[in-house]
Structure 1
Amino acid sequence: MQRRSVILAMACAGLGVLTGCASSTPPVRRTIRSYTEEVSSILITADDKQIVFLGARYHYIFSAPPELLSVLRSSIHASLVAEFNPFTVFEDQRIVGEFSLKLVTNAIETQKKEVRDNIFQLNNIFLEGERFSASNISDAKLEPLQHSYHVNINESSGDGYWHSPEVSPIQKVAGGILLIGLIPLLLVTGLALPCCGSGH
């Protein structure tokens, strides 16, 4: 139910006006502006609780869905591509969105069989998290994805103001290792992730 409510709010925000979404309150006119974020590295916390997208302008920290973790742990993860729907950021910097994973067109039969046998959820994987201003991690040990990719992001404001996000909690320590708090971040490697055919 909560997920359906969030998705409904995203749909309403995309129209710019929240009409018909709440019968007992007056419509709230929302201002929308959009940008495209280029992401070249994805990380996951060592405790498997959070997944991180590192963009040039912002860092995005999401709760890691169990269905996504199961795919990333599988042998097929290097043969997947992703298609992202536009994500939405609200005034409190909460960000939500969905994406789907698909096997590359030249996937071998054993990979197709693994998808069938494990019943991986590859479609409409829901992410919810928070956006932060990118911190300085220029010397961190980062291995880029096979392809960088671009995600379209809509900023939705109900008061007409654009609030600055907090600085990313991701810190670089000795040896170029990245942490959130005291928890190390591990690279997701080998994943081919062109967004909607625009990766390069």
Structure 2
Amino acid sequence: MKRRHFLALSIATASGLTAGCKGIGPITDRWLEDSKYDETLSAFLITQDGKKLVVLGKQYHYIFDMPPQLRAVMTAPYRQKLDTEFIGFEAQGDTISGRYRMTLSRADAPPDSDARARALADGFKDEGHRLTERGTISGTRYLPSNLDGAQIPQAFNSAYRVDVTEKPSAVGKAIKLALSPVAVAADGGLAVMQLALFPIGFPILLIAMQRSASSGGSMHPAKTEGNGDSR
């Protein structure tokens, strides 16, 4: 009798726990769902050694490893003709990654031109009406540091924004981001890890995507006017 009573009690307890888990399920599912945040971008800079791309946002600072393909275009004769977009950005914890596509039209790189030959040598693919180069970029996300008094170059004439997908971290693990290493140098410029930062002119790297209110919030490549690079 005692054994039967014990088994019945065990089954009832297990059933109660199962019911409790079912009640928790939807909350856990919500914890594991992707979310998005809207980032306002203000400056795009490159370290003096050309190895890091630094993007200053209103919510976060981002430091990316500069892909060799992107470094190659910095001194390319066709760089001012590029239409470059970065898409599909995803952040998880302190990491962030995305994809890029650089496009050079046939008109800007006609057959037998030096620009076309250089672009093909830099890894661009010939798609007939245009040359393209695709790749990925990844880096680290930081909490913004205090840059009061810094001479931050204004890359845009108006606010530009990009959507970032926030991937959930491990359940029960709080996201802890480090403070951005971007600091104000003695001359009022910016530096990171003792390396001076220089602004990247557009349209060399057209990273920002402008939200168009007239198109129901869809994303369109941002256009800049007359901003060259300082390098």
Structure 1 length as normaliser, TM-score? 0.72
Q: What number of residue pairs does the alignment pair up? A: 170
- Cα 1:162–1:150 change in 2 (3 A) is farther
| Correspondence 1:133 to 2:143 | yes
C-alpha displacement of 1:110 = 6.5
1:166 is matched with which residue?
178
Identity of counterpart residues, as a percentage? 26
Q: Structure 2 CA distance, aligned partners of 1:111 and 1:73? A: 21
| Correspondence 1:155 to 2:155 | no
Aligned CA RMSD, in angstroms, stands at 2.8
Alpha-carbon contact 2:81-2:108 (below 8 Å) kept: no
Q: Which amino acid aligns with 1:76?
A: Y
Name which one, 1 or 2, has greater alpha-carbon Rg.
Answer: 2
Q: Structure 2 CA distance, aligned partners of 1:114 and 1:130? A: 36
1:13 is matched with which residue?
none
- Cα 1:170–1:158 change in 2 (3 A) is closer
Moved more, 94-103 or 136-145: 136-145
- SS of 1:165 mapped into structure 2: coil
Deviations 1:118-163 (A, max 9, x none): 2144432211100011112243223233566432211111435651
2:216 is matched with which residue?
none
Q: Structure 2 CA distance, aligned partners of 1:55 and 1:185? A: 15
- Cα 1:190–1:199 change in 2 (3 A) is closer
Alpha-carbon contact 1:53-1:60 (below 8 Å) kept: yes
- Cα 1:112–1:68 change in 2 (3 A) is farther
Q: Which has the higher contact order (CA 8 A, sep 6+)?
A: 1
- SS of 1:175 mapped into structure 2: coil
Moved more, 77-86 or 44-53: 77-86
| Correspondence 1:185 to 2:197 | yes
Q: Structure 2 CA distance, aligned partners of 1:104 and 1:38? A: 29
Q: Structure 2 CA distance, aligned partners of 1:198 and 1:190? A: 12
Q: Which amino acid aligns with 1:129?
A: G
Q: Structure 1 CA distance, aligned partners of 2:90 and 2:112? A: 32
Moved more, 46-55 or 81-90: 81-90
1:95 is matched with which residue?
96
Alpha-carbon contact 1:143-1:189 (below 8 Å) kept: no
1:54 is matched with which residue?
56
Q: Which amino acid aligns with 1:81?
A: D
C-alpha displacement of 1:112 = 9.6
C-alpha displacement of 1:73 = 1.8
- Cα 1:87–1:139 change in 2 (3 A) is same
C-alpha displacement of 1:94 = 0.9
Deviations 1:79-108 (A, max 9, x none): 3232222211112x1111101122479x64
- SS of 1:85 mapped into structure 2: strand
Alpha-carbon contact 2:41-2:56 (below 8 Å) kept: yes
Alpha-carbon contact 2:89-2:165 (below 8 Å) kept: yes
Q: Which amino acid aligns with 1:136?
A: N
- Cα 1:112–1:56 change in 2 (3 A) is farther
Alpha-carbon contact 1:60-1:131 (below 8 Å) kept: yes
Alpha-carbon contact 1:62-1:127 (below 8 Å) kept: yes
Q: Structure 1 CA distance, aligned partners of 2:152 and 2:96? A: 24
